[in-house]
Amino acid sequence: MVDTSAKNPLLNQNKNFLELCFACRIGDVENADRLISTGVNVNGVDEFDNSPLFLASLCGHEDVVNLLLRRGSVCDRDRYEGARCIYGALTDSIRNILLKYDISKAVDVKQPFASHLSSLMNDDIVNNFDFQFTFDDDLQIPAHKFILAARSSYFRQKFSGPWATLKSKRMPTGSDIEAFRSILKFIYLVPVLHELKQDQLKHIHLLSMKSGFPDLLSYLDKTMHVSDPSERASLMNEYQYKFNTDARDQLEAYVNENIFNNGILLTSGEVKDRHLKTLRDLPPFGDLVLKVTTSEGQDYFYMCHKSILVRSNFFKLMFSSSFQEATSEVPIVSLSVVNLSVAEVVLSYLYYDSTDIPWEIAIDVLRTSDFILTDRLKTMAAVTITQSKEFLTKYSIFDVLDVAWSCSVERLEHHAAKVIAYDIENYINDSLLSDAIIQSSKRIKSRQDTDTVELVDDIRFYLLEKYDLQADILELLDTEDDIDFLKKSGLLEYKKDIDLLESLLIELGFDI
């Protein structure tokens, strides 16, 4: 084998990236979303120089194409890679989406956590700024201490040291408020590069030196020598992407160090309000106590941030309403989980889009995200369950079915049906299958002319898939008597499986 990595710097043979390529081929938009959130580079290429966008475009998966573009895939038709995506597009509608994509306008494509962070600049949900920078004429710019601390070691030191007791910092007279605002936008991951003004550059340069943003500095240096608009746009894109990746790492580090490590374990008794007040001004500068109760009955207390937790609908409703929690300054909110790692997965997701869910706790993560009304995490957990090869070593497929039904996750229902279908000989004697079929029959929403049991229908569907058969070939079963043909085509085996299923149904008292 030739070492291709020398040829193409974008070549990526990371396992997650290759899985992403596969998801793009088969159009599994949810898995693609999960994989992108693990931090793979969406603009990488595989050993055949295929980018995920090209694969999705070629295979005609419009929703994956849209997802990739939203997450920062570049389609520059002036370059070989971009043109290839457009010419390779399977459908006109995909081609039009790609043609409409304009690299210079695509600066705000990014990960959900970054979008959320940006939206906090004008935090209108909980409005929980805890620091202010005051400029000349008493102009003020509000900010979140924890975001500044997470993104910049400079601010981290200041908040722990000289500014520890300050609520507001007066900036030196003559400071350029606009330049400062640009820096703040950079910190909050608002795409700012394209709106930097020439006359601010000096101030921004200075401020980024001070606050310690080497990437911003390197961008400023590079962009000075680029005049071609398309190249410039590429550069911006590349850097904005890098900023987001860095921010994710910084948040991850911050959450680990300050939230998880500072969690307080109390096996009994209540937290004293006084105790919490002191926590308020220490890193992580939280404004909310998350009381995590494990199934072992232990309570852990984490200082968290309302501004971040509102990414979950549960917290959003809680803090935007007029209930007690919204009116108290540092509310204590409980979350019941199986063990601490579930809570950590949920928080990691909320803070920096981590979708790295260990399969062992995937079901618990799914239930918890259902409770806090966070659909995307729920989907991610479901994808983890379906992708994991070890999952069934610890859990029964009927656990999956149970959680699928109680939390309405269609993907898992199908997955369960598929697993059962592919191994029907084993499952058919399991009394749990009978229970599941009876339960499924009770879930019929509204009576129709011919009621069907969804689970049975799904199993039938996957039995066809199992033997690579089409529905219309089944009539051959009645007419064809060439045994060899039936054997070869898999029809015979299919018939065997179906007979198993049907005899079970008859046993259960269903009409077929």
Partner 1 sequence: MSHFLTMPSVKPIISNRRYSRKTEGLDEQWAILQNGIDKIFDGKVTELSFEKLYTTVYGLVLTKNGPQLHERLSRQLSDHFGKVRTSFDGITRAEALNLLNQVWEKQKVYLSQISDVFIYMDSVYSKRENKPDVMSLGSRLFLKEVVEHVSGTLKSSLVDEINQARESAAQYSGFDILKNAIAVLNSLELKEGMSSVFLMEFEPFLLDSTEAYYKNLHSQLIAEQDETRWKDFNTLLELLNTENKICCNIFEDQDTILKLHNIAERVLVTDNIQEIAIYNVAKIVNSDKNDVLSRLLAISSSQKDKNVIFDQLSQFIVKEITSIEIDTSAKKKSVAAVAWIQELIKLKDKYQELGSHLNSAQAAGFKCINEAFGKAFSQIKIFPEFLSLYFDNYLKSEPSAMDSNIRKCVQFFKLFKDKDAFEIIYRQQLSRRLLQQRSNVLREQELIFLLQEDVGTSYTSKLRGMLRDLHSSNTFMQKNGKLSKTRDISVNVLTNMFWPLQGSDMNRDVIVPDSFAAIRNEYENRYAKTHSGRLLEWNYHLSTVEIAYQFRNSYHELSMPMFSGIIFMLFKEHESLTFDEIVELTNLPQQEVRKNLISMSVAPKTKILQKSPPGKSISNTDMFSINQGFTAPQRKVKVLMVLMNTRPNATNDSTRSSVEKKLLDSRLSVINAAVTRIMKQDRKLYHSELQDKVALSIPLFEMSPSLFKMSLEYLLNNEYIQRDFDNTTMYHYLP
Least separation in angstroms between residue 38's CB and partner 1 is 23
Q: In whole angstroms, what is the distance from residue 465 CA to residue 484 CA? A: 21
Least separation in angstroms between residue 45's CB and partner 1 is 27
Least separation in angstroms between residue 391's CB and partner 1 is 9
Tokens of 347: 């928080």
User: Mind spelling out the 3-state secondary structure of 54-111?
Assistant: HHHHHCCCHHHHHHHHHCCCCCCCCCHHHHHHHHHCCCHHHHHHHHHCCHHHHHHCCC
User: Mind spelling out the 3-state secondary structure of 14-30?
Assistant: CHHHHHHHHHHHHCCHH
Least separation in angstroms between residue 418's CB and partner 1 is 8
Q: In the complex with partner 1, which residue's Cβ is closer, 122 or 334? A: 334
Tell me how crowded residue 107 is: count the other CB atoms within 10 A of its CB: 18
Least separation in angstroms between residue 160's CB and partner 1 is 32
Q: In whole angstroms, what is the distance from residue 99 CA to residue 76 CA? A: 9
Least separation in angstroms between residue 452's CB and partner 1 is 17
Least separation in angstroms between residue 400's CB and partner 1 is 9
Least separation in angstroms between residue 53's CB and partner 1 is 28
Q: In the complex with partner 1, which residue's Cβ is closer, 109 or 126? A: 126
Q: In whole angstroms, what is the distance from residue 189 CA to residue 208 CA? A: 14
Which residue, 370, 372, 188, is CA-closest to 290?
Answer: 372
Q: In the complex with partner 1, which residue's Cβ is closer, 98 or 504? A: 504
Q: In the complex with partner 1, which residue's Cβ is closer, 154 or 395? A: 395
Q: In whole angstroms, what is the distance from residue 155 CA to residue 147 CA? A: 9
Q: In the complex with partner 1, which residue's Cβ is closer, 76 or 497? A: 497
> Which string of b and e fits 182-196 if b means at least 16 CB within 10 Å?
bbbbbbbbbbbbeeb
DSSP 8-state code for residue 446: S
Q: In whole angstroms, what is the distance from residue 336 CA to residue 83 CA? A: 51
Please name the residues in contact with 402: beta carbons below 8 A apart, sequence gap of 6 or more. none
Least separation in angstroms between residue 324's CB and partner 1 is 5
Least separation in angstroms between residue 433's CB and partner 1 is 9
Q: In whole angstroms, what is the distance from residue 468 CA to residue 472 CA? A: 12
Tokens of 252: 């991850």
Least separation in angstroms between residue 366's CB and partner 1 is 12
Nearest-10 Cα torsion for 314, 319, 325, 326 = -170
Q: In the complex with partner 1, which residue's Cβ is closer, 155 or 300? A: 300
Which residue, 284, 255, 262, is CA-closest to 344?
Answer: 255
Q: In the complex with partner 1, which residue's Cβ is closer, 313 or 503? A: 313
Q: In whole angstroms, what is the distance from residue 103 CA to residue 73 CA? A: 10
Q: In the complex with partner 1, which residue's Cβ is closer, 23 or 45? A: 23
Least separation in angstroms between residue 320's CB and partner 1 is 8
Q: In the complex with partner 1, which residue's Cβ is closer, 392 or 438? A: 392
* Angle between helices 410-422 and 375-387 in degrees, nearest 10: 10
Task: Answer for the pair 214, 246: CB distance below 8 angstroms, yes or no.
Answer: no
Q: In whole angstroms, what is the distance from residue 217 CA to residue 242 CA? A: 13
Q: In the complex with partner 1, which residue's Cβ is closer, 59 or 338? A: 338
Interface residues toward partner 1, by CB under 8 A: 295, 313-314, 317-318, 321-327, 333-334, 336, 338, 367, 371, 373, 389-390, 392-399, 402, 406, 408, 418-419, 422-423, 426-427, 430, 432, 445-446, 466
Strand order in the sheet with 332-336: 264-266, 299-304, 288-293, 332-336
Q: In the complex with partner 1, which residue's Cβ is closer, 16 or 320? A: 320
Which residue, 156, 158, 239, is CA-closest to 194?
Answer: 239
Q: In the complex with partner 1, which residue's Cβ is closer, 171 or 392? A: 392
Least separation in angstroms between residue 188's CB and partner 1 is 28
Strand 332-336 and strand 140-143: the pairing is unpaired
Q: In the complex with partner 1, which residue's Cβ is closer, 21 or 420? A: 420
